Amino acid sequence: MKYNLDGKQGFKRFGKIQWLLWGGLGVMIFMFVAAPVLWPFDPYEQVLSEVLQGPGASHWLGTDQYGRDMVARILAGGRVTVGLTFVITVTIAVMGTLLGIMSAYMGGFMSWLIRLFINVALAVPSLVFALAIAAVLGGGMGNAALALICVAWPKYARLARSLTLQVKAAPYIKIASLQGQTKWGIFYYHIMPQIAGPLVVTAVLDMGVILMELAGLSFLGLGAMPPMAEWGSMLSLNRSLLQTAPWLLLAPGGAIVVTVAYFHYVGENLRQYFDKI
């Protein structure tokens, strides 16, 4: 991937993408947070008289084998899945970026250690390691998130490191330093605005991938434990009902597809934007 690094604009002209980003996020957060107030059904309440109903007027997406409303479960699951995806992505992006910049700035043991981690992470299929970590830590959403964080941060460290080195090598950085700018000032005024764009693009594009991996771990039984509503575990739980009640699979699957597509779309737009400047 090639990034244009000589733009000074940073986040100034954001335009359409900004609305797309914040608007979509706002709608999503509103839907997930306000779900208990807006939607009359409880995601965990089992109504055994209304088991396995098809999509209809009162239950828009039908009910599952315990009579729980699917719309409520999708919204509750979204809170878990999408919320945790945010937490994971922000954590790895911040952690990886800081470590990558650190390794670009200072030599010595720390830099060597970070580089070693980056090299190892590049040489290893990450999902295999995530599986192993999640398996050893045992189930649970927090452990699945921890496993994904462990394997995903070196990607950002690598990107941040190479970008920082690239920017640092420019002659004007030397001039700024000759003019008396401090190390921190150079970083804050010259390096950070230039490396922020590619990192943000990577993070947004990554959100979809992380969401799918998180749902995948849950699907394998390494994430959410029943009865917790989570899109991946809902798919795995309703797998046996494929023939009788296909809507139970279409609803969480469709939710994943739509959310991932949203992140994908925003990420691609952001990339085009940053490529232009």
Partner 1 sequence: MTENKERTKQSALALLNRPNSSWRTCIKYGQPILQVIGVLWVVATLTFGLMQLTNDDVVDQVFSGQQSLSIEDQAEKRAELGLTAPIWLQYGRWLWGVLQGDFGQSMVTGEAVSSLLWSKLPATLLLMGAAVGVTLLIAVPTGLWTAHQKGRIGDKLVRSLTLFGNTMPNFFTALLLLYVVALKLNWLPVIARHNEPTQLILPTITLVWSMSAKYIQQIRALALDELSKPYIMGLRTRGLSWYTIFARYVLRAIAGPLVALVALSCGSLLGGVTIVETIFMWDGVGKMAFDAITARDYPVLQAYVLWLVALYILLNWSTDFWQTKLNRRYAKEADHEI
125 near partner 1, judged by CB under 8 A = yes
76 near partner 1, judged by CB under 8 A = no
113 near partner 1, judged by CB under 8 A = no
Other CB atoms within a 10 A radius of the CB of residue 154 amount to 26
Number of residues that bind partner 1 (CB under 8 A): 45
Two tokens at 118?
Answer: 């980056």
What letters, b where the CB count within 10 A reaches 16 and e where it falls short, cover 166-182? ebeeeeebeebeeeebe
221 near partner 1, judged by CB under 8 A = yes
Nearest Cα residue to 252 out of 275, 231, 228: 231
> How far is residue 35's CA from residue 38's CA, in Å, rounded to a whole number?
5
- Cβ proximity to partner 1: between 27 and 257 the closer is 257
Angle (deg, nearest 10), helices 70-105 and 15-38: 140
- Cβ proximity to partner 1: between 42 and 268 the closer is 268
Asked, as a colleague might, if the bond just before 227 is cis with ω within 30 of 0, I would say: yes
Residue written as token pair 């139970």: 248
Q: Choose the stretch contacting partner 1; rule: CB under 8 A; options: 7-15, 89-97, 196-204, 246-254.
A: 246-254
Site string for partner 1, 198-217 (x = CB under 8 A): ----------x---x--xx-
The least distance separating partner 1 from the CB of residue 133, rounded to whole angstroms, comes to 6
**CB contact at 8 A, 133 and 126:** no
- Cβ proximity to partner 1: between 13 and 239 the closer is 239
3-state secondary structure at position 62: coil
Q: Choose the stretch contacting partner 1; rule: CB under 8 A; options: 3-11, 59-67, 171-179, 254-262.
A: 254-262
Residue ranges that bind partner 1, judged by CB under 8 A: 115-116, 118-120, 122-133, 135-137, 158, 161-162, 208, 212, 215-216, 219-222, 232, 235-236, 239, 242-243, 246, 249, 253, 256-257, 260-261, 264
